[in-house]
């Protein structure tokens, strides 16, 4: 009989990380809403955005492809900065 594993400590808070708590699906949906599939496929040139794109196919590809996921995360952060900059009363 093995001893039960001790409980995991809670993850440290990440107040300065803008991606903390944002799912990959939320990023893809927001990017699609902002840019559309065509422009998204130009900004991140991967087939899941260019050929018969969908959120589901994009998530499947991005979860298996770290370099593409990093590009999507970077574009998402860029989009957030641009939205803040262009918002009334923004910097």
pLDDT at residue 7, as a whole number: 75
19 within some domain? no
Q: Is 14 exposed, middle or buried (0-12, 13-18, 19+ CB in 10 A)?
A: exposed
Count of domains in the chain?
Answer: 1
17 in any annotated domain: no
Residue 4: inside a domain: no
Question: Among residues 18, 44, 19, which one has the least CA distance to residue 31?
Answer: 44
Residue 82 confidence (pLDDT): 93
Q: pLDDT tens digits for the chain (91 residues)?
A: 666 777 776 666 666 888 888 999 999 999 999 999 999 999 999 999 999 999 999 999 999 999 999 999 999 999 999 998 988 876 5
Look at residue 29 and tell me if it is in a domain. yes
Could you give the CA distance from residue 62 to residue 56 in angstroms, rounded to a whole number? 10
């Amino acid at each position: 009989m093995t001893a039960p594993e001790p409980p995991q400590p809670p993850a440290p808070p990440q107040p300065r990380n803008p991606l903390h708590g944002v799912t990959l699906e939320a990023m893809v949906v927001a990017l699609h809403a902002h840019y559309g599939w065509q422009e998204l496929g130009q900004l991140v040139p991967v087939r899941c955005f260019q050929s018969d794109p969908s959120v589901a196919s994009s998530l499947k590809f991005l979860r298996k492809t770290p370099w593409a996921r990093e590009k999507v995360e970077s574009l998402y952060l860029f989009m957030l900065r641009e939205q803040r900059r262009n918002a009334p009363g923004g910097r």
